[in-house]
Every structure is written in C-alpha cells, then in structure tokens.
Amino acid sequence: MKGLRLHQMDVKSAFLNGLIDEEVYVSEPPGFEDHNNPDYVFKLKKALYGLKQASRQWYERLSNFLLSQGYERGKTDRTLFIKNSCNEIILVQVYVDDIIFGSTNESLCQQFVATIQREFEMSMMGGSISS
Amino acid sequence: MENCKEASTPIATGCYLDANEIGVDVDQTKFKQLIGSLLYLTTSRPDIMFGMCLCAIFQAKPKESHYVATKRILKYLKGTIEVGLWYPSEVTLNLVGYSDSDFAGCKVDKKSTSGTCHLLGSILISWHNKKQACVALSTAEAEYIAAGSCCAQTIWLKYQLSDFGLNLSKIPLFCDNTSAINLTKNPVQHSRTKHIEIRHHFIRDHIMNGDCEIQFVDSENQLADLFTKPLNKERFNFLKNELGIIDFKNVN
C-alpha cells in the first residue's frame, strides 16, 4: 500500500451551511416574534435542520466548494473527491458532515485542512489511523 | 447469558433449522432485536455472517429451536470477544473474488444460498451471504447464480478502485464447480440450463469483456465456504485465519 495517513474531521452544524435556492418560509419561532407584525413569516436564505432540502443543499455546497478547489468527484462513489498533483494524490471521503482524508504527501493534508477551515467551521477528530 | 459456556463455532455442524411448525413460540420482538444486534455486528465480524443469516430467516415466526441456534452465536461471541479483521499495511493491491453456494440450503423453501467474498491482496474487504431469489435445479445452477452476484460486486469494486487510480482487469473470480465455470464460458442453450433467468447470464458478458476471469479452486481452498455452510471447528478456524479474521489476544 501507499502508507496513507488518515485524518478525520467533521463540520459543525453542517446543515446550517446549505444555501437555499427555493422559496421557503417559516413562522416566527418562539423568542423571535415581531410584536408589531405577529402574522408575518420569515423567508429563509439558508437551510435549517429538519428542512427536507437541507441535506441536498449541504451536499451541493460542500461538493461545489471541493470542485472549485480542483478536486474531482469519484465516478462511482459520488462522495469521494480526489485531487492529483505531480504524482501525489489526496483522497477525501465525505459522509454527510464527516470527512475522512488521506494523502501520499502529508503537506497536501495540511493544505486541505487550512482551505476547508477557511470555508466552514470544522472540528478535527483526534488521532490518526495509518493504513 | 453472561455466565454461559463458550461455543467454538457460531453454528453447530449438524444444525438443521426449518420452520418448526409444532415448536414453542418465542417472543418475536426479542428475537428480532437479537437478530438486529447481530446484523450490526457483521460489519466487523464476518465469521458470524452465515449463522446470523440462517437464523434471520425465521424472524416472522420464531420458535424455541431458532432461539437456541441464535443463542449459540452469542455463546460463540463470548469466547471470541477480541476477534476482528486484520488489515496489515504491507499488501500488494490485487483483487480476487470467491463465490460459493449451498444447494437447497434453506430447508423451508429449498432455495439455495449464495456466499461471496472479496480480498484485496490478503485482506478481506467485502463479504456477502444471501438466499437466492429462485430455486436452483442443480448445484451447478446454484453456483452459477452465486458467481453472478460475485461478479456484480467485483465490477463495482473495480470501478471504485479506478477512482483511487488503480485500474484492474481480468480480476480472478474463484469458483469450485467446473460445470458452473463451463456455463460462463459457453453461451449455448443446453437442455438443462435453458431455464436459467437471463439476469444470471450477466457474468458471461463480463467474462467476455475481460473484466473478470473465472478460475477453478478446489473445495479445500474455497474461502467463501465460511459464508455458505456450517463448518467444524478445524475448518472454521482455518478459513478465519486465511481471511485475516484474527484474535487480537494473539497479536502483539
């Protein structure tokens, strides 16, 4: 094998990151009532937990981000993202908000961590498993 | 159950489980919960796969005899708590598949059971046990159907590996039945095979394309045996060892 060192991260409150492109309204939640206009509803700009669009929008947001960073989507597994650069490879496997990644070159991993942390709020899982 | 005796294998060799109409009923919810827990465990314990699948068939009307057989799996687990899959770091990346079947394995409707497994180098990466959807008329037919499902899984793994930059072709697929092997190579309508459903001939196409290559393996080295029949202790431990299902008490 190639001696990849695996790292794991997860995205904090992932579904809140999804951008919504449809018209969805919510009634005024408790604590956020507008006393002058109690009959008003709010139009959503971003996804919320419990919304049926939430998971799709999250995947859209994350995959678009990775694709813009030069990653390629796996042909069979659409949640695998791959980037090749000068004989080095980085593999990023996504499971909803959990991301597991490894590379033949450790600096690619560090680079990945830095880029993704700029985009999303992440938490790093401790430890590393080598395979 | 905590103070039970340990069993050396999950299923007794002479184990005969049928619908057992006259047997004493047991609580269905409890039985289903037990099966559910064991099912979850098969993701890391392929050694109980066969036993679990055998017992799971009776979930609709569980009887005392089924419950006893299921409890034997727990007894086996008690003695093998520290068993798991061993994935060493130094392996060559070549994929092989094994397919086996148990003719008329299900005593209720006489359908056969398919069992397949895939190894990447020497490590077990995929395993499967399933009662076939139709009744097979011969062992060759049962083996042929099993080889078909093994082939489908092989193709998926091949695509998956190509995403990782590993392009394989002519992936060996081991089968222990020469008649079934010949069936895959010879696309003729034979009087005893012409009833086989079209979907099972899927494998022929992929062998002709060179995606996989069917090869003979003697029954002794048929690793998919573990997923198709109850085995004695020696054979069971031999196969476990070959598949890298190892007791971590013995690993430093």
Nearest of B245, B250, B212 to residue B77 by alpha carbon: B245
Inter-chain touch B163–A76, beta carbons under 8 Å = yes
How many residues are there in chain B?
252
- For residues B50 and B186, give the distance between their C-alpha atoms in angstroms, rounded to a whole number: 32
Total residue count of chain A as it appears in this document: 131
Q: Which residues pair with B85 in a beta bridge?
A: B245
Strand, helix or coil at A8? Answer: strand
Helix (DSSP H) and strand (DSSP E) numbers for chain A: 2, 9
Q: Give the pair of three-digit tokens for residue B202.
A: 């899927």
pLDDT tens profile A53-63: 899 999 999 99
B133: CB partners within 8 A, 6+ apart: B111
CB–CB of A76 and B93 under 8 A? Answer: no
Average pLDDT value for residue range B18-40 = 91
Residues A131, B162: C-beta atoms closer than 8 Å:
no
Structural domains of chain B, ranges and CATH numbers in brackets: 1-81 (no CATH), 95-227 (3.30.420.10)
The tokens of B121 are what?
């180098």
Q: Report whether pLDDT(A130) > 60.
A: no
CB B227 within 8 A of CB B117: yes
From chain B, which residues contact A within 8 Å (Cβ)? 87, 89-91, 93, 156, 159-160, 162-165
Q: For chain B, give the percent of residues with pLDDT over 70.
A: 99
Question: For an interface test with A, which of B86, B89, B211 has the most A Cβ atoms less than 10 Å from its Cβ?
Answer: B89
Å from A27 to nearest chain B CA? 40
How crowded is residue A41: how many other Cβ atoms within 10 Å of its Cβ?
11
Cross-chain residue pair A76–B160, CB shorter than 8 Å: yes
Query: Which chain A residues touch B159 with a CB distance below 8 Å?
Result: 75-76
A3 CB neighbours in chain B (<8 A) are: 89
**Residues of chain A neighbouring B162 (CB-CB closer than 8 A):** 75-76
Span B159-185, pLDDT tens digits: 999 988 889 989 999 999 999 999 888
Nearest chain A residue (CA) to B88: A131
Burial class (CB in 10 A: 0-12, 13-18, 19+), A77: middle
Q: Look up the ipTM and state it.
A: 0.73
Euclidean distance between CA atoms B99 and B228, whole angstroms? 10
Closest Cβ–Cβ partner in B90, B156, B163 for A1: B90
Question: Is residue A79 within 8 angstroms of chain B, CB to CB?
Answer: no
Nearest to B163 among A1, A3, A77 (CB): A77
| Tokens encoding A118 | 């700029």
**β-sheet bridge partners, residue A73:** A81
Predicted confidence (pLDDT) per residue in A109-122, tens digit: 999 999 999 999 98
* pTM passes above 0.90: no
Task: Indicate whether B71 pLDDT > 80.
Answer: yes
Tokens 């489908």 sit on residue: B152
- Which residues is B101 bridged to in the sheet? B114
Mean pLDDT of B5-13: 89
